[in-house]
A and B are shown apart, each in its own frame.
Chain A
Amino acid sequence: MTQSHPRGPRSKLRAIRPGTRVVSDRSEPDAPTGPAEAAATDGELMAGLLAEDVSALERLYDRYATLVFSVSLRIVRDRQIAEDVTQEVFLRLWRRPALYDPARGRLLGWLISVTRNRAIDEQRRRHRRDQSESGETPWQLRAEDRLDDPALAAHLAELRRTVGRALAQLPAAQREAIELAYFGGLTQTEIAERTRAPLGTVKTRVRLGMRHLREMLADLGVDGTP
């Protein structure tokens, strides 16, 4: 059973704003050139969706589809299913744009949450955990390659590196528990069975892992404040 929750504002994701100056090193590909002022905000594009403007969906797809697809693929480990989930997520946004409440956080956070829930549901339904994404990288590209907002692209790239560093510093058992929960959609009981660890140990690993992650992200400048 997938558990998802009413969400409060996702301040860090919400804090990404076009035009925000973000320091980005050269390890990530360049964002597209062009003035940041020319890029429509997520809010403007969502208004376009409400007016049934397909070009708004087109731009949102270009902005977030790679990340949505990547999250989905990480969970379902099947390219076709991941594309199905991606399509469903964007069509859901198109059909019911009012489902996204801007007061509760940034669109990216909402998309990730919906993608994760849908992908976990799909994964459980189809029981394809044994499939691997290895060898399926002909389309491997950067997420920001088609992003029309350079500031957003740079901010996302920086945030990705920061989160990657924080996760990499977690003790292996804590990281495993968190990843099995987040990407595998497993309950703590299922994680205990999978890792052959006592349930209490799994609970402790999740608790400490989340605490450490929060502390490390704070140390790296991501403190969750708006």
Chain B
Amino acid sequence: MTPEEREELLAGYALGTLSRPDIEAAETLVRTDSAAAAELHALHEIVDMIALDVPLRRADPALRARVLAAARAHARTIVFPRMPITQLLVGTAAAVAIIVVGMWATALRGQIAALHEETATLSALVRADAKRLDAALPPGAAGDPNEMASQQDSLAVERDQAQREAIVAVTLDPAAKSGAFDQTNASHGARGRFVWSGALRSGVLVLEALPTLPLGDVYQVWLDDGTVPVSGGTFVPSRRGEATVLIRPDVANQPVRISIAAARAGGASTLQPPVVLSAVLAR
């Protein structure tokens, strides 16, 4: 690579104007060459300042009120599985049922085989969760909706309803991507599958046999759009290492990878190894 080619690569990378093969070449260069990394750092400084040249316009003053109202109304994080498991199972089962219908239509496009596999997996997991629930609940509790409802406040009900709807929406998306997580050296038998809706920027993870964590630790979902992994929230699996997780991360771009890693209570600010499970979403 000539000095000019090197400079072109770094300048293009800093500006975000490279095509995928060149992006990979630039990232390799920066990883392996500290001088290139320093050069890129300086170029980023320049790129940041380009934005300051924009003609200044002020947004509608009403936007300020909308932003603040939305902030007051919005709960920041979604942590599973805190919702009552019966509601989660009902929602998941409904999603699975709808998936079956969706698969029929999708079969017309020649994709029925893959979706059948997905449905079978989800159904098996739901059945397993239902059996576990039956075993865990005291006699009569599962069939007493009034008693269950009395244990929840209205906010929890609303939240759970929204989460169920979100799970259904993700699984209904005909363009959603699904697949299995890849195991790593830290998986210790953990496995799982994911469904990711690019349109909704949301996903559902169904995980099994996650290793037991030290008391107080949690699992954290990370989504990587090719830049910096972004947290998708934390969750605590069941004692059997099972969890169904809805993720709605604030990612600027479509993620290309989903990772699961352990973290201290409250979650980490950056992805820390070891990664327990990892899945690649083809763009």
Pair B12/A206 contact, Cβ less than 8 Å: yes
Flag whether B200 is at the interface (Cβ < 8 A): no
Expressed in whole angstroms, the Cα–Cα distance for A23 and B67 within the complex equals: 34
Pair B250/A3 contact, Cβ less than 8 Å: no
The stretch of B55-63, B84-92, B163-171, B186-194 in contact with A is B55-63
CB-CB under 8 A from B53, the residues of chain A are 160, 163-164, 167
Contact partner, A11, options B45, B61, B68, B228, Cβ 8 Å = B45
A137 to chain B, nearest CB (A): 6
CB-CB under 8 A from A52, the residues of chain B are 76
Flag whether A45 is at the interface (Cβ < 8 A): no
Given contact pairs A91-B74, A213-B46, A214-B42, A141 touches B56 in the complex (Cβ within 8 A): yes
Pair A185/B16 contact, Cβ less than 8 Å: yes
List A residues 112-145 near B (Cβ within 8 Å).
112-118, 121, 133, 136-137, 139-143, 145
CB-CB under 8 A from B159, the residues of chain A are none
- Taking residues whose C-beta sits less than 8 angstroms from the other chain, chain A's interface range is 35 or more
List B residues 8-57 near A (Cβ within 8 Å).
8, 11-20, 22-23, 37, 40-57
List A residues 52-67 near B (Cβ within 8 Å).
52, 54, 57-58, 61-62, 65-67
B118-149 vs A, CB cutoff 8 Å, 1 = contact: the mask equals 00000000000000000000000000000000
Pair B60/A139 contact, Cβ less than 8 Å: yes
B64's closest neighbor in chain A, by CB?
Answer: A61
Q: Helix, strand, loop or mixed for chain B's interface? A: helix
Expressed in whole angstroms, the Cα–Cα distance for A170 and B105 within the complex equals: 56
B177-215 vs A, CB cutoff 8 Å, 1 = contact: the mask equals 000000000000000000000000000000000000000
Given contact pairs A82-B59, A210-B43, A3 touches B4 in the complex (Cβ within 8 A): no
Given contact pairs A140-B57, A178-B15, A117 touches B253 in the complex (Cβ within 8 A): yes
Pair A98/B231 contact, Cβ less than 8 Å: yes
Given contact pairs A87-B66, A99-B230, A10 touches B74 in the complex (Cβ within 8 A): no
Q: Helix, strand, loop or mixed for chain A's interface? A: helix
Pair A224/B18 contact, Cβ less than 8 Å: no
Flag whether B269 is at the interface (Cβ < 8 A): yes
Flag whether A159 is at the interface (Cβ < 8 A): yes
Total residues of chain B contacting the partner, CB 8 A: 62
A144-171 vs B, CB cutoff 8 Å, 1 = contact: the mask equals 0100000000001001100110010000
Flag whether B227 is at the interface (Cβ < 8 A): yes
Expressed in whole angstroms, the Cα–Cα distance for A204 and B231 within the complex equals: 38
Pair B41/A67 contact, Cβ less than 8 Å: no
List A residues 172-189 near B (Cβ within 8 Å).
178-179, 181-183, 185-189
A84's closest neighbor in chain B, by CB?
Answer: B63
Pair B45/A86 contact, Cβ less than 8 Å: no
CB-CB under 8 A from B269, the residues of chain A are 98, 101
Pair B59/A91 contact, Cβ less than 8 Å: no
CB-CB under 8 A from A206, the residues of chain B are 8, 11-12, 15, 17
Expressed in whole angstroms, the Cα–Cα distance for A163 and B63 within the complex equals: 28
List A residues 1-30 near B (Cβ within 8 Å).
1-13
A167's closest neighbor in chain B, by CB?
Answer: B53
Pair A186/B17 contact, Cβ less than 8 Å: yes
Contact partner, A5, options B44, B46, B49, Cβ 8 Å = B44
Would you give 21 A-B contacts (Cβ < 8 Å), ordered by A?
A12-B45, A12-B48, A13-B45, A66-B57, A69-B57, A70-B54, A73-B57, A74-B54, A79-B60, A90-B71, A91-B67, A117-B252, A139-B61, A143-B56, A181-B16, A181-B17, A188-B12, A188-B19, A206-B11, A207-B7, A207-B11
A residues at B contact (CB < 8 Å): 1-13, 52, 54, 57-58, 61-62, 65-67, 69-71, 73-74, 79, 82-83, 86-87, 90-92, 94-96, 98-99, 101, 109, 112-118, 121, 133, 136-137, 139-143, 145, 156, 159-160, 163-164, 167, 178-179, 181-183, 185-189, 191, 203-204, 206-207, 209-211, 213-214, 217, 222, 224
B residues at A contact (CB < 8 Å): 4, 7-8, 11-20, 22-23, 37, 40-61, 63-64, 66-68, 70-72, 74, 76-77, 225-228, 230-231, 250, 252-253, 267, 269-270, 283
